[in-house]
Each structure stands twice: as structure tokens, then as C-alpha cells.
Amino acid sequence: MDFEMVMQELEALGKERIKKTYISNGAHEPLFGVATGAMKPLAKKIKKNQPLAEQLYATGNYDAMYFAGIIADPMTMLEADFDRWMDVAYFYMLSDFVVAVTLAEADCAQVVADKWTASGEELRMSAGWSCYCWLLGNRKDSEFSESKIASMLDQVEKTIHDSPDRTKSSMNNFLYTVAISYLPLHAKAVETAKAVGPVEIRRGTKKSSILLASENIQKEVERGKLGFKRKHVRC
């Protein structure tokens, strides 16, 4: 399938209700409003296709950009490519659920994510922390430096409450992910989550939401989810 055909297929899958939901979360035109699940049959036909992914991502159309992440071949992407994708990821559903997810399947994932978490830019930092969530939830514990992850937990404890809102959300998710999916530091992550306590996320004109990682960790432990790893990062 070529670029024009894929764009036509995506447009046909669009739903006004879903489009409104995406816009309420920060998406803007152009977009069609395609449910992520509805993209799966199309993705199966195409499989991985990096040149097509690049064409789609460059459109600025949210649905095309999301689909680009599904069919991208991360092993062919360089650090500069991920930076370029991140440059135009204008809200968290792109930074955390397209760019960070795609990065998590690349060999350079930790190098790029480390650079982003230290960038001082809200969405880049959010993507960096999110990438570690995808990595820890999928790869073997042995692929990570325990001392490095421990120092990241310390960083979260010291800085989360003063961080930008999207970064706060991803840091909070990092606490939860380490506690559940990275067994060597389960106890430290639980203690850190308790020390952090409630995290307030402001949502513009909407009511603020409160995140409490310690509560979510406890629920997952009770459900027998300790040590959980995903088989696949991308759908």
C-alpha cells in the first residue's frame, strides 16, 4: 500500500466522536479520529515500513502520525531520527504513546531517553520517563543498571513535585513501573512512592487530578502482578 491509499483508509476509519475525544486531550487539526484498535488490520497488511512511516509522520495528521509509530522500524532509526520525531510531537499522546514507544524498541533507547529526561523540556522529559516505563515493562531486568534505576528513583523523589505536569505524570508512572516490573528495586520503589505521596496534575480549565503511585502499586501486588512484563511494546 502506498501513502495515498493509507491516508484514504485512515480517513475512512475516522469517527467524529473519537476525534472530539482526541481534541479534548490536546490533539488539533488535521486528524480523522481513528480508534487505535481499528488500525490493527491495516498494520497487519503493511507490517514494518520505515519510508512509509516517515511520510505519514511528516503529515502532521495525528492519526497518520500514530499509525507511523505502529509501522515504523525502530532498528533502522538513529538518535537524530527520534529527535526529529520528538520535535513535532506537540502533545503527550504523540510524545509518550508514539515516539517513546517506538524508541523503546531501538538499541539506542536508554541513551536517547537519558538525554530527554535531562532536557528541561516538558514533553521531552515526559517521553524520556515514559520510554523507561515501556522498557522496564518489556525487557529483562538484567538489561538495566540497578544503581542507575535507583538514582532515577531518587531523582523522582526530589523533583517530581516541581516538574511540569506531563513530566510529573510520566515520573509517577515510572515509580509504579519500577515497583511492579523491575524486581531488584521493588522495595525501594514502594518506599519512594510513599515518600512522594499524592501528585497533583493540573488540567487547564478542568479539575486537577491526584495521582497516588503507592495505592496503584499495592493494588497490582494484591492482583499478583509483581514481575509483570509485556510480550510486545507496540500493538
* DSSP structure string for 174-186: HHHHHHHH-GGGH
pLDDT of 129 reads 98
Query: What percent of the chain stands above pLDDT 90?
Result: 95
pLDDT of 8 reads 98
Query: What integer best gives the mean pLDDT of the chain?
Result: 97
pLDDT in tens, 43-99: 999 999 999 999 999 999 999 999 999 999 999 999 999 999 999 999 999 999 999
Give the three-state DSSP class for 198.
coil
pLDDT of 1 reads 87
Average pLDDT over residues 187-198: 98
Which pLDDT band, with edges at 50, 70 and 90, does 235 fall under?
low
pLDDT in tens, 30-47: 999 999 999 999 999 999
pLDDT of 203 reads 80
Query: What percent of the chain stands above pLDDT 70?
Result: 100
pLDDT surpassing 70 at residue 143: yes
Average pLDDT over residues 150-177: 98
pLDDT of 206 reads 79
pLDDT of 159 reads 98
Phi-psi region of 29 (alpha: psi -120 to 50; beta: other; left: phi over 0): beta
| 134-173: b (≥16 Cβ within 10 Å) or e | bbbbbbeeeebeeeebbebbebbbeebeebebbbbbbbbb
Residues 129, 174: contact at Cβ < 8 Å? yes
